[in-house]
Amino acid sequence: MDAALAVGQARGIPKADLRKRLGGERELLQDEFRPGEEEDYGLLLEIHGVFDIAKQLDEREVVIAEHLRTAWAATGGLGSGHAVSLSRRFVTGELSLAFRTLARFGLRHGPGRPTEFWTAMVAAGELLDPTDGDEHGSVAQALDESRVRLAECAR
């Protein structure tokens, strides 16, 4: 735990905030690791966002995040790993990545609300930089796909 506190403080996270982040479930998980597995424990903490630095969103980003949260709520649910990852994108302000992730995973069959999902996705995508992207595609590509899916909902 001392090493985790040191890493977090080096990243500028206040000690009291770190203690909250390390409490509860994560503290129990610490008992699952043996000496020599500190790196593995650190990786687990990183995966869970313990060391994430929250980004203060500007007005435009707040609107984008609201659209993306609306889309997320309309998915019908995401697996826990995807939900944790997506949640971290909101905290760190990686809204373009959150948008592309939601577009890639789309809706779950059954409980999702397609029109609401794709409407929110188009609204968010129109506010993002169209050139932002990675090996999985750009915002422009995900926005085009979202528009196609939204048009399909209207049929």
- Cα separations in angstroms, 76 against 34, 81, 110: 39, 15, 7
3-24 pLDDT per residue, tens: 777 888 888 888 888 778 777 5
Q: What mean pLDDT is reported for the chain?
A: 87
pLDDT value for 144 = 97
101-154 pLDDT per residue, tens: 999 988 876 778 999 999 999 999 999 999 998 888 899 999 999 999 999 998
Q: Assign residue 77 a region: left if phi > 0, alpha if psi is -120 to 50, beta otherwise?
A: left
pLDDT value for 28 = 43
Q: Please report where in the chains the tokens 């998980």 appear, as a residue.
A: 29
pLDDT tops 70 at residue 57: yes
Contact indicator for 56, 18 with CB cutoff of 8 Å: no
30-50 pLDDT per residue, tens: 677 788 887 888 787 887 788
Contact indicator for 124, 99 with CB cutoff of 8 Å: yes
Instruction: Grade residue 52 by pLDDT with cuts at 50, 70 and 90.
Output: confident
pLDDT value for 62 = 97
- Cα separations in angstroms, 2 against 19, 45, 81: 10, 13, 27
Distance separating alpha carbons of residues 7 and 3, to the nearest angstrom:
6
Q: What percent of the chain has pLDDT over 90?
A: 46
